[in-house]
Amino acid sequence: MTVLSIMCGVICLLMAEWIHIRLARVLRQVGAPFEWQHLPLFGIMLLSLYAILRLMVLSPSVSLCLKFGIIYSATGALFLLFLFFIKVLHYQTYIFLVNWLRCD
């Protein structure tokens, strides 16, 4: 059972990476920001690892590894969102300062 769950986890992570490669290519062509190109990878990893953790009865060590994977995925997604919002805030501040200096 543990070997099956580990194989299922590896398959889910490989599938997440494959979907990420395809989706990032499409989003790059559309011109989406860098952060939005990589956010689906962490989302798919988070959902698949959470589903494996909840649907299968696992040994404590495998369960611990899946929990660390969930924490990694959530942290990565939050970090990308943080970078995106910092970039937007920086851009808006720059526009505000340029317009303010132009008025004088």
Please tell me the predicted confidence (pLDDT) of residue 104: 61
Query: In b/e form, how buried is each residue of 17-42, taking b as 16+ CB within 10 angstroms?
Result: eeebeebbeebeeeeeeebebbbbbb
pLDDT for 74 equals 92
pTM of the model: 0.74
Give the number of domains in the chain: 1
Give me the pLDDT at residue 86, please.
92
Give the pair of three-digit tokens for residue 29.
């062509």
pLDDT of residue 82: 93
Residue numbers of the domain that contains 87: 2-103
Q: Provide block-wise average pLDDT over 10 residues at a time, the chain (104 residues).
A: 70 80 86 82 86 81 85 92 91 85 76
